[in-house]
A and B are shown apart, each in its own frame.
Chain A
């Protein structure tokens, strides 16, 4: 997968038009101003800049792997351990792919963790499971995806047509979806007892756990969707400059809605993966998942202001986090040190990306 193809190419300068969909806080304006001034000091091609960003991610992941091998040796560099890392990455990964689209479109979704919780609970209630036992476990799959999609639809419609700022709308969804999950489950953990579901979802495909396969498929599908379809190009356009996108004939409101439905469906899928991995549905599933997903997307080089971002970068971002936490466990580090180190590594990764990007821009 090449980074080059994810860049939308050149076009007329439309930066003057205010972004009306994305976050419009003061910080964003300051960032834009800072970015403006930097633009004047550097010429050069965008391609190389974007390429540099991914080089930074590769370097960061390699460094973590080298640390892993150096400190844990074969315990790190084994197939079993690789599978463990990928399994950990898969749930966050699926959500992060969806989140990438939302952020590229200039929005944000803080409600992903809560939607995962709600979908996992809804798909594992007595009623749903009874129906699934009478018919097919696909009922649970349908319920989870439908609940996720419906939450995304509510987010999207209110953001696009109700003009609620994404941050606020999804914050409201975060609170209410988790609250609803608690009401439905009475804050109890619901155990999955549909054998067909458990058998299918815990299976391996050619020795690879199904969860990892799903993550890979979603990543590939996300890459194709972003880089090879009108939907992807529209997402970039809407995030880059919604007004220009509207003038270019894109139905910005409808597109924004669709993007939130997309991330909602990803959350439904992640909920199914939680059901498979834990054999339970719970209102506590996915707690703080939104932060992990946003961090992975941003580390991956997607701009919080929208208009630019890559699926490859997001996948790297997810892998960096899960590999990190694996290396920490292997090295028996306590949680406080880990938290500090994690934060430092985020900053270093971002700085590294910037340096490399700048260097490749100026040469």
Chain B
């Protein structure tokens, strides 16, 4: 039985490798799709810079601290801002030696990044996990190796895996948006309220919607129409088009995320609708410019701070230098810090626009 192929055929195929190489290049670079966005963000990073905290003894230079930072891929304006804010912060402190690992949505790779930090014996690790539960084992390993882990935004499933946890307030975002709607409705319990959520199965989306519902209930309102998008511009446009088609008259619309909000606004524009008040979420710079301008439907947005990573790094620095948060009486860095979710309107937008992120 002849099961052999030919000599000539085999050695003749040399060029495919090159073509494939080129394709692989495209593919690999495409994986970090938002590289450009991130670069753009850098250019106008003055607006992105983490707000400089009031100078105090804590900001005085101390022993050099090596911190490993790892976050998911910057495939979303908010996530890109997380890492950019961390970089900007590192420039502000000369005692901060920051190691930033490649942004990745592959937990296998992110675990290996943290392992590298452990091997390196960094002083602290600041970790925004792609998936909190999946990163728990390696975080535990770091803690066991005596390296404090600062968990940002997405929680581990074991409290022992982190020394400090920095969280946004998803439920609070919903509450803030709901309270703003109540305020604007001013006792009108017939107001039609619509909601465009983010990825529906994520706990954070469920928390946001729950908060919104609870706050609305306080003033006798409820959500009349609710659709879920996927945090992307395309999905925002698609879902909003359908929603506007279905609901001929809306009074209030809360959109969970300003990145997908770009698409939502495009859909509103093409439908020629302007009878309602829209509230955004996350707090991107273009949403704030829209609010500042005041001529569109977007009148407010609820902030989900993109400075969480930078806050994590600051706390890690204090922790390693054995300082405390100077505005607290407590002599240790707290176990958990939950950030506030304020409502930004035309009245206070100037206060927030400088720390907003570009989507």
Contact A186 B201 (CB under 8 A): yes
B12 CB–A CB distance under 8 Å? yes
Bound Cα distance from A101 to B145, whole angstroms: 41
Bound Cα distance from A193 to B32, whole angstroms: 33
A54 CB–B CB distance under 8 Å? no
B229 to chain A, nearest CB (A): 15
A82 to chain B, nearest CB (A): 10
Contact B108 A88 (CB under 8 A): yes
Contact B102 A357 (CB under 8 A): no
Per a CB cutoff under 8 Å, which of B17, B109, B202 touches A88?
A: B109
Bound Cα distance from A327 to B4, whole angstroms: 41
Contact A278 B116 (CB under 8 A): no
Contact A278 B7 (CB under 8 A): no
Contact A31 B15 (CB under 8 A): yes
Contact B102 A298 (CB under 8 A): no
Per a CB cutoff under 8 Å, which of B10, B73, B103, B134 touches A46?
A: B10
Per a CB cutoff under 8 Å, which of B18, B35, B107, B157 touches A285?
A: B107
Contact A298 B17 (CB under 8 A): yes
Name the residue among B9, B16, B35, B202 with the largest chain A CB count within 10 angstroms. Answer: B9
For A334, the chain B residues whose CB sits under 8 A away are 38, 87, 100, 102
Specify the chain A residue showing the minimal Cβ separation from B2: A248
For B108, the chain A residues whose CB sits under 8 A away are 88, 91-92, 274, 277-278
Question: Chain A binding site: helix, strand, loop or mixed by DSSP?
Answer: helix
B163 to chain A, nearest CB (A): 20
Bound Cα distance from A37 to B132, whole angstroms: 54
A354-B17 contact given A237-B3, A285-B107, A332-B99, CB 8 Å threshold: yes
Bound Cα distance from A277 to B139, whole angstroms: 12
For B104, the chain A residues whose CB sits under 8 A away are 335
A11 CB–B CB distance under 8 Å? yes
Bound Cα distance from A58 to B9, whole angstroms: 25
Specify the chain A residue showing the minimal Cβ separation from B37: A336
B126 to chain A, nearest CB (A): 14
Contact A36 B12 (CB under 8 A): yes
For B119, the chain A residues whose CB sits under 8 A away are 75, 78, 80-81, 84
Bound Cα distance from A355 to B133, whole angstroms: 46
A241-B15 contact given A295-B27, A346-B24, CB 8 Å threshold: no
Select the stretch in A136-144, A145-153, A170-178, A299-307 that faces chain B.
A299-307
For B81, the chain A residues whose CB sits under 8 A away are none
Chain B interface size, under 10 / 10 to 19 / 20 to 34 / 35 or more: 35 or more
A278-B131 contact given A8-B4, A88-B112, A285-B107, CB 8 Å threshold: yes
A338 to chain B, nearest CB (A): 5
Contact B131 A325 (CB under 8 A): no
Bound Cα distance from A189 to B113, whole angstroms: 21
Per a CB cutoff under 8 Å, which of B24, B32, B137 touches A335?
A: B32
Binary contact readout A42-68 vs B (1 if CB under 8 angstroms, 0 otherwise) = 101110010000000000000000000
A3 to chain B, nearest CB (A): 13
Specify the chain A residue showing the minimal Cβ separation from B36: A336
A75 to chain B, nearest CB (A): 6
Question: Chain B binding site: helix, strand, loop or mixed by DSSP?
Answer: helix
Contact B20 A350 (CB under 8 A): yes
Bound Cα distance from A14 to B12, whole angstroms: 13
For A339, the chain B residues whose CB sits under 8 A away are 28-29, 31-32, 35
Bound Cα distance from A160 to B13, whole angstroms: 25
Binary contact readout A287-326 vs B (1 if CB under 8 angstroms, 0 otherwise) = 1110100110011010111011000000000000010011
Specify the chain A residue showing the minimal Cβ separation from B12: A39
Specify the chain B residue showing the minimal Cβ separation from A15: B9
B213 CB–A CB distance under 8 Å? no
Contact B134 A279 (CB under 8 A): yes
Contact B17 A358 (CB under 8 A): no
Bound Cα distance from A349 to B10, whole angstroms: 19
A284 CB–B CB distance under 8 Å? yes
Specify the chain B residue showing the minimal Cβ separation from A237: B3
B329 to chain A, nearest CB (A): 37
Contact B8 A15 (CB under 8 A): yes
Contact B105 A11 (CB under 8 A): no
Bound Cα distance from A68 to B3, whole angstroms: 43
For B100, the chain A residues whose CB sits under 8 A away are 332, 334
Contact B133 A191 (CB under 8 A): yes
Per a CB cutoff under 8 Å, which of A35, A325, A343 touches B14?
A: A35
A354-B4 contact given A81-B119, A336-B38, A346-B24, CB 8 Å threshold: no
Binary contact readout A340-352 vs B (1 if CB under 8 angstroms, 0 otherwise) = 1011101101110
For B2, the chain A residues whose CB sits under 8 A away are 11-12, 244, 248
Known: A11-B5, A291-B24. 14 other contacts (CB 8 A): A8-B5, A15-B12, A28-B16, A31-B19, A38-B12, A46-B11, A187-B202, A250-B3, A278-B137, A285-B134, A298-B24, A322-B112, A326-B116, A339-B32
Question: Would you mind naming 28 contact pairs between A and B with Cβ atoms under 8 Å apart?
Answer: A12-B6, A14-B9, A31-B16, A34-B15, A35-B13, A35-B15, A46-B10, A49-B11, A88-B108, A182-B201, A191-B133, A236-B4, A240-B6, A245-B3, A248-B3, A278-B131, A278-B134, A279-B133, A288-B105, A298-B21, A299-B24, A304-B20, A326-B116, A335-B35, A342-B28, A344-B25, A346-B24, A350-B21
